[in-house]
Amino acid sequence: MSKGITSKNEDYSQWYNDIVIKADLAEHSAVKGCMVIKPYGYSIWEKMQAVLDQKFKDTGHSNAYFPLFIPKSFFSKEASHVEGFATECAVVTHYRLKNDGNGNIIVDETAKLEEELIVRPTSETIIWNTYKGWIQSYRDLPILVNQWANVVRWEMRTRLFLRTTEFLWQEGHTAHATAEEAIAETRQMLDVYADFAENWMGVPVVKGVKTPNERFAGALDTYCIEALMQDGKALQAGTSHFLGQNFAKAFDVKFTSKEGKLEHVWASSWGVSTRLMGALIMAHSDDAGLVLPPKLAPIQVVIVPIYKTDEELNNISAFVDTLIAKLKRLGISVKYDDRDTQRPGFKFAEYELKGVPVRLAIGARDMENGTVELARRDTREKQTVNQEGLEIYIPQLLEDIQQNIYKKAFDFRAEHITPANSYEEFKELLDGKAGFISAHWDGTPETEQKIKEETKATIRCVPLDNQQEDGVCIYSGKPSTQRVLFARAY
C-alpha cells in the first residue's frame, strides 16, 4: 500500500529508517555519524522545544549559553566524569590550515594549541567552572539555568535520531544550598519530562532510578524516564541527575551559609535530546508512515480540494478560507494544499506518510451536500461530516486522537511488563515477547553485569513507585526486597 516503507513486522530497524527518510524528517549527511535534520523533522523538534522551554520557565529556570569548547584540563577535575566520557570525545588540537604548495590544504603544525579543547559531550565542567565566579553566598542560590545546545559524542555506531555523533539537546544545570533542595529539583524535572512524554508525545514512561552501573558519570543518583518501543525494546527518553557536591568540589564552588559556614554547593543536571524524536517515531507509527500526536504535529489539519474546473476550485477555496480562519482562531495549524501539480491520491499518501492527524477532502459533491470527507491518521478511518460545526468537531477530534494515541501506547506497554520468577523464564521472555521484565535482583553490580553479558538485557530502572516484596534474585538466588525492570534497550 505505502510505497517504499518496509513493513514493521518484516524488519523493524529498516521500517524505522524508512519512515525517517520517507517522511522527510532527516537524512544521512556527508559527515560520518552526523545527520541533516530536514525542515519537516526540525519543525517537530521546534514544537518539542517550545513546550519544554515553557515548562522550564514555568518552573523558574532561565536559558543561558556556554562555550562549545572545553579545555581538556577541566575534564580531569572530576574523576568519574572524565572516565565516563574520555573514550568518545572530539578534540581540537590546531587552529589553522595552510596550503602545502601542491594545492592541498593541510593542518598547519605550527598552529598547535597549547591546551587541547574538547568539543563538549556535556557541559557540567565548563558550567561549574563558570558557577565558581557566580556564587559566594547563600543569597546567590539557587541558580536555575538551562542551555539549548548541540553536543558531540564520538560513538562507534550511529542511528538517525537515536544515536548520532552530534545531537541537539537541552541541559539544565542547577546549584543549591542544600542536598534536599537539589534532590527536589532533580525529581521535579523528572516529573516535567514524564509529563511532557505522556501528555504531549503520547508516550507512557516509567519513572525510575538507575542502578550504580548505569549512573551518569559524576552523579550520586540518576533518575530516568523509560519508554517502550513497539518492538519491545526500551528507550531511555530523559535523565535527571542528582550530582551531590561532586562538581562543586572538583571546581571549588563554595558559598557562605546563613550560619556563616563555608560549604560546597549542591547540584543537579537534567537533559533530553533529539532522541525524543526517535521515541516519538517508534512509539506510534505504522506501515503507512509516521503517526504524530496532534499536540506536536506541525500540521494538525490538512485540507485537500478535489476539483475539475477552476470554478469548482474557487467555490471550494471560498469555503476553505473561512474554515481555516475559524480553525486558526482556535490555535489549530492548518495547511490547505491546493497545488495543481499533484493529484489527490498522491497528497493523501504523502500526508499519511508525514503523520498529519486529520485530513479533510472537499470536492464538488461535498459542496453540493454541505459535507467534507474527514480522515483521521491514527485509526485511518474515514467519515463524511457536515461542513457546519467543523470548528467545534475538529478540536474535539484532535483531543480524541491525542488520547487514543496515548491509550494505544499505554495498553501496549501494560501488556509488555511481564514478571519473571526464574532465569529460564526471564530469557524466554526476552527472546519471545520482549518488553519490560519485572524480576528480583540481588542488588549487586556483578549480577547485573553477568545478566547483561549473557542476555544483553540491562536494568532499565528501579521504578519510583516500586512495591517492596520479598523474593530471590533470578540469577544468584540471593534474597531481594523488590523487583526491578529489565529490558533490551536502544
Partner RNA sequence: CGGGGUGUAGCGUAGCCCGGUAUCGCGCCACAUUUGGGAUGUGGAGGUCGUAGGUUCGAAUCCUGCCACCCCGACCA
Q: Least distance from C-beta 31 to RNA, angstroms?
A: 6
- CA 219 to CA 240: how far, in whole Å? 10
Q: According to CB under 7 A, which residues from 103 to 142 bind RNA?
A: none
Q: Least distance from C-beta 239 to RNA, angstroms?
A: 5
Q: Please answer whether residues 356 and 292 qualify as being in contact, where contact means their C-beta atoms are separated by less than 8 angstroms.
A: yes
Based on the number of CB atoms within 10 Å of its own CB, is 375 exposed (0-12), middle (13-18) or buried (19 or more)?
A: buried
Residue 91: CA count within 13 A, CB half-sphere: 15
Is 395 near RNA (CB under 7 A)?
no
3-state SS assignment for residue 44: helix
Task: Name which of 130 and 236 has its Cβ closer to RNA.
Answer: 236
Which residues fall within 8 angstroms of residue 407, CB to CB, at 6 or more apart?
Answer: none
Name the one range near RNA by CB under 7 A: 179-187, 246-254, 368-376, 475-483.
Answer: 368-376
| Residue type (1 letter), 446 | E
| Contact track, RNA, 2-41, x by CB under 7 A | xxxx-------x---x----------x-xxxx--------
Beta strand ranges found along 337-381 (DSSP E): 358-363, 371-376
Among 139, 328, 343, 407, binds RNA (CB under 7 A): 343
Q: According to CB under 7 A, which residues from 200 to 219 bind RNA?
A: 214-218
Among 68, 113, 179, 364, binds RNA (CB under 7 A): 364
- CA 331 to CA 336: how far, in whole Å? 16
State the DSSP string of 110-129.
GGEEEEEEEEPSS-HHHHHH
Q: Please answer whether residues 91 and 117 qualify as being in contact, where contact means their C-beta atoms are separated by less than 8 angstroms.
A: yes
Is 223 near RNA (CB under 7 A)?
no
Task: Name which of 27 and 46 has its Cβ closer to RNA.
Answer: 27
Among 232, 278, 355, 363, binds RNA (CB under 7 A): 363
Is 344 near RNA (CB under 7 A)?
yes
Q: Least distance from C-beta 40 to RNA, angstroms?
A: 14
Nearest to 91 by CA among 73, 105, 109, 77: 73
Among 123, 158, 186, 480, binds RNA (CB under 7 A): 158
Nearest to 405 by CA among 372, 380, 438, 371: 380
Task: Name which of 139 and 343 has its Cβ closer to RNA.
Answer: 343
Q: Please answer whether residues 155 and 162 qualify as being in contact, where contact means their C-beta atoms are separated by less than 8 angstroms.
A: no
Task: Name which of 318 and 414 has its Cβ closer to RNA.
Answer: 318
Which residues fall within 8 angstroms of residue 328, CB to CB, at 6 or more apart?
Answer: 334
Is 462 near RNA (CB under 7 A)?
no
Among 7, 9, 62, 87, binds RNA (CB under 7 A): 87
Is 350 near RNA (CB under 7 A)?
yes
Task: Name which of 240 and 447 has its Cβ closer to RNA.
Answer: 240
Task: Name which of 213 and 481 has its Cβ closer to RNA.
Answer: 213
Q: Least distance from C-beta 254 to RNA, angstroms?
A: 25
Name the one range near RNA by CB under 7 A: 112-120, 188-196, 362-370, 420-428.
Answer: 362-370
Query: In DSSP terms, which residues pair with 207 in a beta bridge?
Result: 225
Among 153, 173, 187, 416, binds RNA (CB under 7 A): 153
For residue 414, which phi and psi values (nearest 5 degrees)?
-60, -40
Is 361 near RNA (CB under 7 A)?
yes
CB atoms within 10 A of CB 392: 11
Is 279 near RNA (CB under 7 A)?
no
Name the one range near RNA by CB under 7 A: 36-44, 252-260, 349-357, 470-478.
Answer: 349-357
- CA 113 to CA 95: how far, in whole Å? 7
Among 185, 226, 286, 352, binds RNA (CB under 7 A): 352
Report H helices in 354-438: 364-369, 390-415, 423-431
Task: Name which of 93 and 422 has its Cβ closer to RNA.
Answer: 93
Query: In DSSP terms, which residues pair with 356 in a beta bridge?
Result: none
Query: In DSSP terms, which residues pair with 261 in a beta bridge?
Result: none
Name the one range near RNA by CB under 7 A: 189-197, 364-372, 421-429, 478-486.
Answer: 364-372
Among 243, 353, 420, 434, binds RNA (CB under 7 A): 353
Name the one range near RNA by CB under 7 A: 96-104, 365-373, 435-443, 479-487.
Answer: 365-373
Residues of the chain by 3-state class (helix, strand, coil), percent to 5: 35, 30, 30
| Residue type (1 letter), 82 | V
CB atoms within 10 A of CB 372: 23
The three state secondary structure string of 253-281 is CEEECCCCCEEECEEEEEEEECHHHHHHH
- The DSSP element (H or E) to which 74 belongs, if any, is helix 72-75
| Contact track, RNA, 297-316, x by CB under 7 A | ---------xxx--------
# residues near RNA by CB under 7 A: 60
Among 159, 264, 326, 335, binds RNA (CB under 7 A): 159
Q: Integer distance in angstroms from the first to the last C-alpha of the chain? A: 29
Name the one range near RNA by CB under 7 A: 39-47, 151-159, 436-444, 465-473.
Answer: 151-159
Binding site for RNA (CB under 7 A): 1-5, 13, 17, 28, 30-33, 80-81, 83-85, 87-88, 153, 155-159, 163, 214-218, 222, 236, 239, 288, 306-308, 340, 343-346, 348-350, 352-353, 361-366, 372-373, 375, 380, 382, 456
